[in-house]
Structure 1
């Protein structure tokens, strides 16, 4: 079943999904590169729609890539990056998805060399929380919420991206026990491997709020292994320069960073 474009219409036809992707897309430019492979901006030849294609070498962990595809395929939300289809091409897996032209929140902060205002953070948080409500209702955990994984389109709409580590909660395994994600943003229960649920994403959102306000997450200047020790044992982090921010914003962060996951609010409660 081909994925839809957001308006319910199939974007890639079955015939196109069975073709060589280079006959379906024109590659425009490389927009990102990392240990996973690269991301290119491409144009869909039939519709002239611009999209993003993540190209992952097959020698990388194919299971992770297949997990990412299955996670994205099950999503149809304005607050989650749309998945259109996938191809195997020249020892690479191509994942075709919605193009978010403004880049990530992290990219924007790096380019402008500025942190975000409280109003900007609030706007992004509302959209992220709506994305999390959508995922959590479907028993999915993102597991890697951070500014680098919140993408913005040219209309300024924020969407959750990079499901490389996202997990599916099943009835048989309602709590995950694997340590996956970026250490500085990890919830204490994830680090302690005591099993965790959707609340882990809420903690990561709280850390992301600090990152957006201050340009970096707490403990960024210490070794990640030391941070892994400190996060579960120290009190929850707070804004370094709290006087610059409203009490309401500080309270929102404090609620997200509730140490006990059972007492941490849900995404719906925070909206």
Structure 2
């Protein structure tokens, strides 16, 4: 930690703490995730190191960039870029009930999908997609962050059945204690899209039991008709109760009303198609 000076603590989660720091060298700001590993078994430590290796290999304009990691005093530290635009959750709350334009929603949504495609194409599950994990840079680019609990998909290891993440984003299959799969990420993506359209959570209840009931029924208040039929029918597809009926991220991006927006977010070296 010698290279960094703490600015303030900006979050605490199941993984540990998130601290805003600045580099003593050049004054650049970063976020450091501090994860306590002293209490972990050696197998869990190996897992978390493997996870960091996965993070280190992620390089995409719509994914929060990993800088470095190190272990010190019983903690694992992961250094990531800091997105000064804050997160989507705060942005939604700051609207005070004023709906976003459809163009704005679709621009953000396409960027989130491009990030998720990068992840899913590598057989990785994000497992914690929520508006608090989607960040805005100062030029308005959207970046998916916090792979704190992403796990590399390994067909031999049965997917962790653990129920993690914010309950609002739990999919019906997780509520029914079935394994997490890539379509559970798609359900959470639907929850984020719904929030962008309504400024509210799709599934809300006073307690966990009622929340689970609502999720399993797949009943949510309709989205305003001021949004297009295409957008509303996409939401209905993302909220299919059977994960097999939900579209993959690739088929979402193939939808004409979204695919026409992709080009403006691709950097030239990523863009292989000139059409």
Common fold: TM-score over 0.5: yes
2:65 to 61, 82, 92: 82
Distance 1:139 1:255, change over 3 A: same
Q: TM-score, with normalisation over the residues of structure 2?
A: 0.79
Q: Which runs of 5+ in 2 are unaligned?
A: 254-275
Say if 1:210 and 1:239, in contact at 8 Å, map to a contact too.
no
3-state secondary structure, aligned to 1:103: coil
Distance 1:262 1:183, change over 3 A: same
Describe how 1:110-259 pairs up with structure 2 within 5 A: 110-114=93-97, 115-173=99-157, 175-232=159-216, 234=217, 236-259=218-241
Say if 1:36 and 1:60, in contact at 8 Å, map to a contact too.
no
Say if 1:238 and 1:254, in contact at 8 Å, map to a contact too.
no
Number of aligned residues: 248
Instruction: Map Cα deviations across residues 195-226 of structure 1 (whole Å, 9 max, x no partner).
Output: 34211111111111112222221232331232
* Alpha-carbon distance in 2 for matches of 1:150, 1:230: 25
Q: How far off its partner does 1:140 sit?
A: 0.5
* Alpha-carbon distance in 1 for matches of 2:196, 2:175: 23
* Alpha-carbon distance in 2 for matches of 1:144, 1:166: 8
Q: How far off its partner does 1:35 sit?
A: 5.6
Distance 1:60 1:204, change over 3 A: farther
1:49 to 28, 44, 52: 28
Instruction: Map Cα deviations across residues 91-126 of structure 1 (whole Å, 9 max, x no partner).
Output: 543221111111110022234434533222211110
Distance 1:105 1:172, change over 3 A: same
* Alpha-carbon distance in 2 for matches of 1:168, 1:176: 11
* Alpha-carbon distance in 2 for matches of 1:78, 1:87: 24
1:29 and 2:12 aligned: no
* Alpha-carbon distance in 2 for matches of 1:32, 1:52: 10
The CA RMSD over aligned residues, in Å, is 2.5
Q: How far off its partner does 1:252 sit?
A: 1.3
Q: Which runs of 5+ in 1 are unaligned?
A: 1-20
* Alpha-carbon distance in 2 for matches of 1:194, 1:58: 28
Moved more, 122-131 or 183-192: 183-192
Partner of 1:4: none
